[in-house]
Amino acid sequence: MVRSSERTEVVCGIDIGSTNLKVVALDRSGLVVARAKQTTPRNRSDLSIDAQGILDAVEDMIIKVCGPDYIVAAVASAGVGEDGVLVDSNRKPLGRALAWFDPRRTRLFEALEPRLPTSEGIGVTTNPSHTIIGWLWSSQQDQNGNASAWAAITDFASCCWSRKSFICDTLAARTAAWDVKTRTWLTDRVEMTLGSSDLLPEVFRTGEPVGLLHSPRLSKAGVLATTAIVVAGGHDHPIGGWGVDQLHPGAILDSMGTAEVVVAQSPIANVLRSSGCDVAPGILSQGSTLLTVTEFARNVQWISQDPAVAAAFGAIVTGSQKPDDYLYSDTFIPGGQGGVRPRYAANAPAAALSRASAAAGALARTGGAAIQAVASRMPTGAPVYVAGGWARSKGWIDIKMAVIGTDVQVIPEPEVTAVGAALLAARAVNWGTPARTALSFGSTTSDLAPLPFSGRR
């Protein structure tokens, strides 16, 4: 085994995604020197998540990216905003995490909503996807009262490594029980769902050092520096958006994965939530994070149950097939958060190309409305960047630009969230790592310019 003193220091950014886990290793110069990716382990019957399985998988991936050459100086983890579990005093999970898109959330929310007290300070519009519904579900599973704290899936590994129960503030803002302006918990909502405020972890600011990183596995593998630290990460898309903001201050990021999230860093403090635009604390600033979250991949999966529609949709988004005029129709109604099912309108056409075109247009308009909701609260002329796997489909980018009438710039780096988390870790250890290099995905920095796609206006 290569001695620690002979290894090059890196920071690791972790992305706990709904579909995949990703880890990138970033050196001081900003180069992504290694990366790993695997499917997020889920229960096949109900899509719930085993938090311990996530921790084991992430440690495997860190060992893999470090290999014989690198050693970890700091880690930061970003990920899904609402999933989590109750843990005992040894941080052992007491159940599985209820996914933010699980349909069971809708039933719980419908029973809870009439009794929920209102609050102007909450940064989100309360809906079935938010953490309070996960709290309610988990508290119902803990029949023996063994819970010691709540742990967000995104923060779980970092809590174990730092030996502290904490939650990042950008995740606290997704609970629907945290006042963004005063940075305090709304105890009435907490006690109605989680059962006790004593189960709430300490809130850390995203980007703040939490403590030394303790991991017997990573130490034994020789990939952990003795001074390695855990850095508070948080909600995945805001962290990716923060990384893009370091590239171009004031930029808007449209990130298309399991969900489509549009996010930006506003310089204005204590921005109030508005219809269609959630608010969270600014990252490493006194400003605010603005974001909208809409369903994306689940809608595509639903229309893809028809093989002919799936084939037509695939051809449209890759650019090998032009959509028909149903692109501009309202005959596809996208599903919403909390498991609300997508559907076709009664007057929907039977032809596969028309159905695929209608779905593509509806999803593009939904994304366009999200961009507008954020852009309306940012300085005029804020550039729009797109990222995620769908950003590499030329036909899809053409459709988005045609439907929303806005030019977009494609980020070459495929793992924007993981790189954003790595940049947070680099900032915490004072590396001064340039975002432009980190987000270029092996390109020269001059390649990170707008990629021209022409769309119908």
User: What pLDDT, in 10s, does the model give residues 172-207?
Assistant: 999 999 999 999 999 999 999 999 999 999 999 999
For residue 403, pLDDT over 70 is answered with yes
pLDDT category at 64 given cuts 50, 70, 90 is very high
CA 236 from chain centre, in angstroms, equals 3
Using an 8 Å Cβ cutoff, are 105 and 128 in contact?
A: yes
**Polymer length of the chain:** 457
Exposed e or buried b for every residue in 357-367, given b needs 16+ CB within 10 A?
A: bbbbbbbbbbb
- Structure confidence at residue 206 (pLDDT): 97
Reported as a pLDDT band with limits 50, 70 and 90, residue 121 is confident
Neighbours of 48 (CB within 10 A): 18
β-strand partners of 9: 71
Confidence label for 298 from pLDDT (cuts 50, 70 and 90)? confident
pLDDT band at 293 (very low <50, low <70, confident <90, very high): confident
> Are 169 and 233 a contacting pair, CB within 8 Å?
no
Given a contact cutoff of 8 angstroms between Cβ atoms, the answer to whether 438 and 30 are in contact is yes
Q: What value, to the nearest 5°, has the Cα angle with vertex 456 and ends 300 and 266?
A: 70
Confidence at residue 338, expressed as pLDDT on a 0 to 100 scale: 59
- Output 450 or 84, whichever has higher pLDDT: 84
- How sure is the predictor about 284, in pLDDT bands with cuts at 50, 70 and 90? very high
Where do the domains of the chain lie?
A: 4-234
Q: Are 237 and 296 in contact, with CB atoms under 8 Å apart?
A: no
Tell me the C-alpha distance between 82 and 235, whole Å. 9
For residue 47, what pLDDT band results from cuts at 50, 70 and 90?
confident
Neighbours of 377 (CB within 10 A): 17
Task: Kindly tell me if the per-residue pLDDT of 144 is higher than 80.
Answer: no
Helix or strand run (H / E) with residue 63: helix 51-66
457, exposed or middle or buried, with CB in 10 Å at 0-12, 13-18, 19+? exposed
Nearest to 2 by CA among 68, 71, 66, 70: 68
Amino acid identity, position 330 = D
The larger pLDDT score, comparing residue 376 to residue 457, is at 376
Q: State the CATH architecture for 4-234.
A: 2-Layer Sandwich (3.30)
Q: What kind and span of H or E run contains 107?
A: helix 104-112
State the pLDDT at residue 2: 53
The stretch 36-41 carries a mean pLDDT of 92
Give the pLDDT confidence of 69-114 residue by residue, as tens digits.
Answer: 999 999 999 998 888 999 999 999 998 888 888 888 999 999 999 9
Q: How confident is the model at residue 325 (pLDDT cuts 50, 70, 90)?
A: very high
Q: Is the pLDDT of residue 448 over 50?
A: no
DSSP letter at 103 equals T
CB 190, CB 178: distance < 8 Å: no
Each residue of 220-269: pLDDT tens digit?
999 999 999 999 999 999 999 999 999 999 999 999 877 889 999 999 99
pLDDT digits (tens, 9 = 90+) for 265-283: 999 998 888 777 999 999 9
85: β partners: 151
Tell me the C-alpha distance between 439 and 4, whole Å: 28
Cα dihedral 246, 249, 252, 258 in deg (nearest 10): 10
* Distance, CA of 436 to CA of 8 (rounded, Å): 21
* Rounded Cα gap, residues 260 and 245, in angstroms: 18
Q: What b/e sequence results for 7-34 when a residue is b if at least 16 CB atoms lie within 10 Å of its CB, and e otherwise?
A: bebbbbbbbbbbeebbbbbbbeebbbbb
- In terms of pTM, does the model score above 0.85? yes
Question: Is pLDDT of 457 > 60?
Answer: no
Helix (H, G, I), strand (E, B) or coil at 344: strand
Mean pLDDT calculated for residue range 53-65: 96
3-state secondary structure of 221: coil
| Ramachandran sector of residue 439 (left: φ over 0; alpha: ψ -120 to 50; beta: rest) | alpha
Looking at residue 4, its pLDDT comes to 61
- Please provide the average confidence, as pLDDT, over all residues in the chain: 90
What percentage of the chain exceeds 70 in pLDDT? Answer: 94
